[in-house]
Structure 1
């Protein structure tokens, strides 16, 4: 899709995932054993044929740069186009609800001005999905739309909380955008915006220029204010989209990967989710290992029991240890006879022999990076 470029907002609020975002932005949070959350947004753009992508980075951007490099693993190390690292103007969004701050795009106006593409896809990176935007762009062009908002439908109050609810008319036109902050009882399906949109590049430049004197305005606010004069449509996404805005969300979206249908859609479809390549040895299973309903990556050493859990690279489970409903990030060491249930361990955590750590499904226990228990 040469007529379109992509922008990913990687400076999502940094206070959402407790200790997991203490030293990294949400974009760089590990997910599913070997991925980062950023991989899903970036791979979906690449799989859609987009070869120019701007990544707006947060204040603590080193983990993002370490992961992406020049974009080689996503085929974006190119002479023409490629991956552009764009500085964010608004850092540490710990108290705001802004998704697509115009000030961030205004700071990187040259990225939009020097390109000749007609459209821009803008997306957030605190969601897990595997989407090809080809059909969305066809819809966008057929409707001659200024802006196309991608949406899903739900009657689940938890899923609708904090979402932008769309009021739709004939032909999928958007008449209103309303914020839904509370968990209200919803007796019927409601269309909600999934933080992905297509917008005409020249229109985006006009919006940035028109609101340049206002520091805190969001792109969605500007769209809402100008609905009467813009051609705004909505496109229904028939795909799994797992939002992460709390530690419970992070835990549950990881566990969703143990559902064969969701795992197949996200990780086993013809559209791959790319990530930084690390060539390591396969996982070792001893004669005492007992692994059920779990997802393990390479370089692990398993001597104990693992049930309904996700293990990242280099995790060691010693003899007699029992891991259940847990997420263990890179190079954690679980000592003999230790018990973990509903626990999230950040990288390089060591649990000594015989310790018992238990959380709950709604409130998993999070152990910070490099801790020794």
Structure 2
């Protein structure tokens, strides 16, 4: 199979978290980015030729992906390819056959017979080989993947069919494969595949927050992170986390490089976070290199990278509306 990932979807509900990065590069689960999950699923399914079609905001994503070495996609043949849109209109953006057609040479040079098209914001293991087996067995033209009755906007079809679709899209009125599947006039045989494993769709601030904290449940963690289907990401070397004598940590995910002197409960801390004495962090997500000052209290808060909290600051959010702290800011005490 040839793998195609939509890394251009944006949702206004993420507010400032995606103001300076794409949704695909949004930090998740302490040390990953959202795109790591679908990209790793493809690699674990034996896919060695992956194309990522991005939106306009791609600097953070490109820095994360690099040459694709972490996913074993730094290859002489096949490997990782990144395509950005040349235009800004809706028709020119990803998911559109216009975007594919401008990179037609890539599809023609690839040797794979089948194509899997998916999004970047699904978290959970998917074995595309199982889906391909059923696609071939049912002799379908297009297979659409569902989870609990909801479309994952993931499709498998033959590459030649995809080529014919985006070569004729203007005459047929199709701008994306989604239009093809939902058009009742088409003559294609559509197969519906129900994926029964754990999958979470990150399409809002609330789903990002709730899914992140859901990973603190061992039953959920064990479904997402398995030995046989590892999630690969960009490796950054940091020293082990230091837990001082006065530190109290319970039901939390702490990345390496942190220094904990306060209390952390039911929270996720990314790399190199410092928690001062007397500080309390509950039900919160703290991204890389944040500094939490002494006696601060953060409950229901999402803190973007490189934020510094001075002594004694108290912030509170809820599961429905977590409090967001912008990247690189300094939260001053009174």
Q: Scaled by the length of structure 2, what TM-score is found? A: 0.95
Structure 2 portions without partners, runs of 5+: none
Deviation at residue 78 of structure 1 after TM alignment: 0.4
Whole-angstrom distance in 2 between the partners of 1:192 and 1:37? 19
Q: Which residue of 2 aligns with 1:117?
A: 112
4+ aligned runs moved over 3 Å, structure 1: 89-93, 212-216
1:231 maps to 2:192: no
**Cα 1:199–1:73 shift into 2, 3 Å:** same
Deviation at residue 240 of structure 1 after TM alignment: 1.2
Correspondent of 1:68 among 65, 73, 80: 65
Aligned residues: 330
1:241 maps to 2:161: no
1:226-278 C-alpha deviation (Å, 9 max, x unpaired): 66411110111011111111111110111111111111111234100000011
1:143 maps to 2:133: no
Whole-angstrom distance in 2 between the partners of 1:265 and 1:99? 30
**Cα 1:23–1:92 shift into 2, 3 Å:** farther
DSSP 3-state at the match of 2:196: coil
Deviation at residue 8 of structure 1 after TM alignment: 0.3
Q: Which residue of 2 aligns with 1:287?
A: 245
Whole-angstrom distance in 2 between the partners of 1:90 and 1:370? 31
Structure 1 portions without partners, runs of 5+: 154-190
- Which aligned pairs between 1:42-81 and structure 2 lie closer than 5 A? 42-81=39-78
1:25-46 C-alpha deviation (Å, 9 max, x unpaired): 0000000010000100100000
Correspondent of 1:327 among 264, 268, 285: 285
1:303 maps to 2:298: no
Whole-angstrom distance in 2 between the partners of 1:40 and 1:122? 14
Whole-angstrom distance in 2 between the partners of 1:142 and 1:227? 24
Whole-angstrom distance in 2 between the partners of 1:219 and 1:13? 18
Deviation at residue 331 of structure 1 after TM alignment: 0.4
Whole-angstrom distance in 2 between the partners of 1:208 and 1:216? 8
Whole-angstrom distance in 2 between the partners of 1:353 and 1:92? 47
Deviation at residue 103 of structure 1 after TM alignment: 2.0
Q: Which residue of 2 aligns with 1:178?
A: none
Correspondent of 2:6 among 5, 9, 16: 9
Q: Scaled by the length of structure 1, what TM-score is found? A: 0.85
